[in-house]
Structure 1
Amino acid sequence: MYLAHTILQATLGFMIASATGAQAICNSTSLNTTSFNYYNDVENQTIHDIAIKFNRGVCDIGRANLMVDVSVVPYVGQTFIIPGEVCNPDWTSCVINGPGTDDCLVGGPRLYYTLNGDTLWKIAGRLNMTVDSIKCGGDGCSSKTNCTDGICPGGGGSQYSTNETIPAGQFIKIPMCHPSACDIEPYTFSKGVYKDLADKYGSTVGQIQMLSPTYNYSYIANEGGTAPPIGIAKNCRLLSSNYTILD
């Protein structure tokens, strides 16, 4: 977990430094401000790879395509909008920097549906929870007497190690805080990434993702197509200062 976080910080640091240097000499008249469609034909190529390839910010690409999260690995055959170049490419504002501190999910839902390239480390970040809570339920890995190499019995993700890639389309059981609640509403997703919605409405990226489990991104919406309808979790909160964890 810590190695992955260190690598992410180092990568972002390099990108930010490169962008800062570019900004000092940026001439907006020399930028290619035309957007275009890009067909991904490279297996395991990430959105970060694509952003570097075209000198765009990863978050600029994410928002142009209404992404769940820019860490989701594209499949071969997916098409993305590559927005026009800007002097200040955004590499950071949409990035989830790692797992959180919660030991259960406030307000639910119960089942997380994995996307391509997911790991327990990524899932924990999207849900603002610890990796151990997702692995082992509310007790956490450290209290399990037969926990071996970070893999613990019980808990939805107990069969996976922290940075192991989980096959897409798997359901992971998430421990929930009781009593707690979220307001659930239909929502027309027409701008941004899921982190923007989660920050605005008081939930997490993972909770919004769990309400529309097969949604990944949409480039068509920003080309005059129909904005995707999704479910959105709002105002997620504990209903008591004392709560229990439902594994």
Structure 2
Amino acid sequence: MFLKTTIVTALLGCLFASATEARTTCNPHSLNTTSFNYVNDVANQTVHEIAVKFNRGVCDIGRANLMVDVSVVPNLGQTLIIPGQVCHPDWTTCVIDGPGTMDCLVGGPRLYYTLNGDTLWKIAGRLNMTVDAIKCGGDGCSSQTNCTDGICPGGGGAAYSTNETIPAGQFIKVPMCYPSACEIEPYSFTQGVYKDLADKYGSTVGQIQMLSPTYNYSYIANEGGTAPPIGLAKNCRLLSSNYTVLD
């Protein structure tokens, strides 16, 4: 018993020492805490790649620029704020995990406007819907027999495969849940990314994006400029436990 206790105590001591060492390895005084503007000079370069290049967290860059979503690919020539370095860069809290489970969009709107680098997989994640629902409508691909290579008629995304890059500026028709509703109001976007707003106000990234379809990000707002006015979807909910999918 004494031997086991000694071993456990030693292991816990090592783990505590490792955790303490990890917390103390970063010296804030050695960091470059100055933010600067970066003009994207590489076509199709992702925000993740930019974050790696400058040793910043992807979410730190996303929030510094009031981004819709860090998976949106910056255009060539776009200016981004690169925030100062921090000891614990954020790579996760703004990232959308993947497609959701809903077969329709709760509360609308109807049309999704694609941004640079969008795929059906990304769109489904932003709307908390399945890829099949975006691609094939409320019945999903599994119920359709006239599909080719996973592409089925009926949904707004039927022309695209799951991970195919969709040209920016396309409208994708989204199946809606009936009856359902959201509250809509004007909003001055001053901090964070759309995921922060969606989590706080009970909607999805895609719904907020659909209300201000041409908005992508703003670096000017965090440099003393005017905060971008956007439409905010709030409290999106089903109005009945039984609902119909409107394709």
Q: TM-score, normalised by structure 2?
A: 0.91
Aligned-partner Cα distance in 2 for 1:125–1:241: 23
Identity of aligned residues (%): 86
Q: Secondary structure at the match of 2:137?
A: helix
- Higher Cα Rg, which structure: 2
- 1:23-62 alignment runs, 5 A limit: 25-62=25-62
**How far 1:22 sits from its partner (Å)?**
7.3
Q: Which residue of 2 aligns with 1:104?
A: 104
Q: Which residue of 2 aligns with 1:17?
A: none
Unaligned runs of at least 5 residues, structure 2 = 1-20
**How far 1:154 sits from its partner (Å)?**
1.1
**How far 1:25 sits from its partner (Å)?**
1.6
Q: Secondary structure at the match of 2:136?
A: helix
Q: Which residue of 1 aligns with 2:246?
A: 246
**How far 1:203 sits from its partner (Å)?**
0.1
Q: Which residue of 2 aligns with 1:121?
A: 121
Q: CA-to-partner distance for each residue in 1:168-189, whole Å, 9 max, x for gaps? A: 0000000000000000000000
Aligned-partner Cα distance in 1 for 2:64–2:125: 22
Unaligned runs of at least 5 residues, structure 1 = 1-20
Aligned-partner Cα distance in 1 for 2:23–2:181: 44
**How far 1:24 sits from its partner (Å)?**
5.4
Aligned-partner Cα distance in 2 for 1:25–1:206: 39
Evaluate the alpha carbon distance shift between residue 234 and residue 161 of structure 1 in structure 2; reply closer, same or farther with a 3 A threshold. Answer: same
**How far 1:76 sits from its partner (Å)?**
0.5
Aligned-partner Cα distance in 2 for 1:128–1:49: 25
Q: TM-score, normalised by structure 1?
A: 0.91
Conserved? CA contact 1:22–1:87, under 8 Å: no
Q: Secondary structure at the match of 1:241?
A: coil
Q: Secondary structure at the match of 2:90?
A: coil
Q: Secondary structure at the match of 1:138?
A: coil
Aligned-partner Cα distance in 2 for 1:204–1:106: 9
Aligned-partner Cα distance in 1 for 2:225–2:22: 34
Q: Secondary structure at the match of 1:44?
A: coil
Aligned-partner Cα distance in 1 for 2:153–2:214: 28
Aligned residues: 227
Conserved? CA contact 1:137–1:175, under 8 Å: yes
Q: Does 1:170 align with 2:170?
A: yes
Aligned-partner Cα distance in 2 for 1:50–1:135: 31
Evaluate the alpha carbon distance shift between residue 211 and residue 59 of structure 1 in structure 2; reply closer, same or farther with a 3 A threshold. Answer: same
Q: Does 1:66 align with 2:46?
A: no
**How far 1:192 sits from its partner (Å)?**
0.2
Evaluate the alpha carbon distance shift between residue 52 and residue 24 of structure 1 in structure 2; reply closer, same or farther with a 3 A threshold. Answer: farther
